Structure 1
Amino acid sequence: MLCVCVPCLLKVASVKEESEETQKEVEMALLTLSRMGYCLIERELYLKKITEIIKHQQKQRNLTKLAYQSAWDFLIYRFWVDNSLEEVIVNELHFSREAARELEELTKCVNWKKKEEEMNKEEAKEEFALVRWLQTSNIYFLSCRLQNEEYVELIGSIVQVYRAAKGNYGVISNQCIYPLKIAAERRDVRVEDLLNGGAVDTVLEGMQQPTLDDNVMRNCLYFFLNVSKRLKRKTDDELEVKGKELNRKVFEKLEEEGYEDVITSFHKIFDYLNKKYYDDLSLSISDYLVNV
């Protein structure tokens, strides 16, 4: 079925006519493709067409926000099972740059003062596209291994979403913490990108929420555990000097908020929990921070 359906859907999605009816058909075709998840699909069936669709959008901007996000979603899911797509996604199509720009534009389009049930159809669609960009960024950070100068742009845009959403949209702001936590785990994402993109400040803000979900707290703690471990790794002399300066900046922020001792105390317990219980960690982590 995939051999038949994928080329047919891509043919519909490739139509460049800009009538309202055609736009709806293109959007539905791309949305359908994006829901194929991790299915194994031969590259010959999709890569040329989906690349053309994305490149055309980058020049003409004729797709809806949801349609464009869906095109990337389809490709990033292929990336999850086929790392040979890395060069195309990172250096040819520039996912980090595109996701950053789309997140910034969608952040401006959503009325963050409105409650979700008060949104009109178009506003709800834009919010939906924004959430999907965050989720797609999760897979990208998990899959990508290439050093990328555009990471800081994407991190900065995720930080913007967090700060816009944290008042009335706690679910969305909480979702922003997870890709930052994944980015902190990846050695190809530089610690200075996390710092310059505002990730350190954002995760600190996440830990200070008056009501805090345990999963969010766990992600915040893992963010700082991974950052601190990476800063302590021995490197050559030049990088070691740079690492010490970054280490000073990060831990100054932690000291300002009183978190340095807390993070340090969690090193041992998390090393133990990682071995057995990480996938189904049930501890009420926020209980441990009652005195902070």
Structure 2
Amino acid sequence: MFNELESYSETEQKQKIKETYGLMEEMDEKEFDHVFSIGLYNKIDDMIEEKKLSMGNAIFLLKHIGYCKILMNKWSYGFYHSELKFRLEKMIIEKEKKEKNNVVLLTGLCECILLLYDEFSSELLPICVPYLLKAALNKEENEEAQKEAELSFLALSNICASRIMKKELYSNEITEIIEYHQEHYNLTRLAYQSAWLFLICRLFYDRSLEDVILNKLQFERETIRELEELSKCIDWKREKDVRGKEKKEEIALLRWLQALEFYLTWCKSWSEEFVELVGSIVKIYLAAKGNHKEIGEKCIDLFVNSTYIRAIENVRKIK
């Protein structure tokens, strides 16, 4: 299908890309790596260069590839080594200088680069983060707005914790978004989790965020509630792998556990709800240990890694 795209009109191309969405989401990791190789990304780059694929359709395609990649928790080696990566980086920098008013294009380009790759040029960070937060600030509750917010937050959550980021770049906006959702529930579960993962990752360099995370935004309370709700959506007795909505709920739960691991490692103070939070994790482990190996192992890793880090910190204090 990808090889035949250039023979279709722009409208037909978009329809053909839509038709691949379900197929992408059904792929396992080996299939994904085989299809989305450096060759495919270079083919897309050539089609853009030769004007056989519009930039709009390229973004439309790449955003969904990135979406599937994030949900699989994959590293995109093909994109990393492709000419397409360099094209997108260059376009973002040039368009931001010359066409700042082209918000839709710039937002789409930023989503693509962050969904597909987390070791991008440091020059892109102060450009991309504001565009994606602005897209996520859309408080409309229709399906299209929620999907766009989900993509924006998935992209933001893919920024690795070791990236230094000025608080002024994101703090007010992410706090407003989380607070608004807590009152109106306008985000999807995956978008809300990704917003938290993005914020928790910033703790790595900025411990001053602890008070906002712990007290103002009530991270422990929100995590307990989300874990309980997600637990109700999962068939803990299932005998085979699942797809679709239930798989998405499992992924969201795994990502909450990932955020918790960062939180327990980097946050020095806990609230009165900490014991209840630990109890929630134990319940998930007990439910998962039979048929959900990945979730069960994540619960164990969470406790082992955070306990190890805390022990090291205590030893350093004694010394």
Range into which the TM-score falls when normalised by the shorter chain:
0.5 to 0.7
Q: Pick one of 196, 216, 222 that aligns with 1:98.
A: 222
Q: Tell me the SS of whatever aligns to 1:50.
A: helix
The percent of aligned pairs where both chains have the same amino acid is 50
Structure 1 residues 175 and 153: alpha-carbon distance in aligned structure 2, compared to 1, 3 A threshold: same
Deviation digits for residues 86-122 of structure 1 (CA, Å, limit 9, x no counterpart): 11111111111111111111111111222452x2311
What's 1:56 paired with? 180
What's 2:70 paired with? none
Q: Tell me the SS of whatever aligns to 1:157.
A: helix
What's 2:195 paired with? 71
Q: CA deviation at 1:171?
A: 2.1
What's 1:251 paired with? none
Residue type of the alignment partner of 2:211: E
Quick one: distance in 2 between partners of 1:49 and 1:153? 29
Q: Pick one of 251, 265, 269 that aligns with 1:128.
A: 251
Residues 69 and 129 in structure 1, CA contact (< 8 A), matched pair in contact too: yes
Residues 135 and 149 in structure 2, CA contact (< 8 A), matched pair in contact too: yes
Listed as ranges, the matches of 1:156-167 within 5 Å are: 156-167=279-290
Residues 138 and 182 in structure 1, CA contact (< 8 A), matched pair in contact too: yes
Quick one: distance in 2 between partners of 1:74 and 1:171? 22
Q: CA deviation at 1:158?
A: 0.6
Structure 1 residues 159 and 46: alpha-carbon distance in aligned structure 2, compared to 1, 3 A threshold: same
Listed as ranges, the matches of 1:124-203 within 5 Å are: 124-182=247-305, 184=307
Kindly indicate whether residue 166 of structure 2 is the aligned counterpart of residue 42 of structure 1: yes
- C-alpha RMSD of matched pairs (Å): 1.9
Residue type of the alignment partner of 1:55: E
What's 1:85 paired with? 209
Residues 140 and 186 in structure 2, CA contact (< 8 A), matched pair in contact too: no
Q: CA deviation at 1:179?
A: 2.1
Q: CA deviation at 1:174?
A: 1.6
Residues 104 and 160 in structure 1, CA contact (< 8 A), matched pair in contact too: no
Listed as ranges, the matches of 1:200-239 within 5 Å are: none
Q: Tell me the SS of whatever aligns to 2:164.
A: coil
Aligned length: 189
Quick one: distance in 2 between partners of 1:65 and 1:71? 10
What's 2:93 paired with? none
Q: TM-score, normalised by structure 2?
A: 0.56
Q: TM-score, normalised by structure 1?
A: 0.61
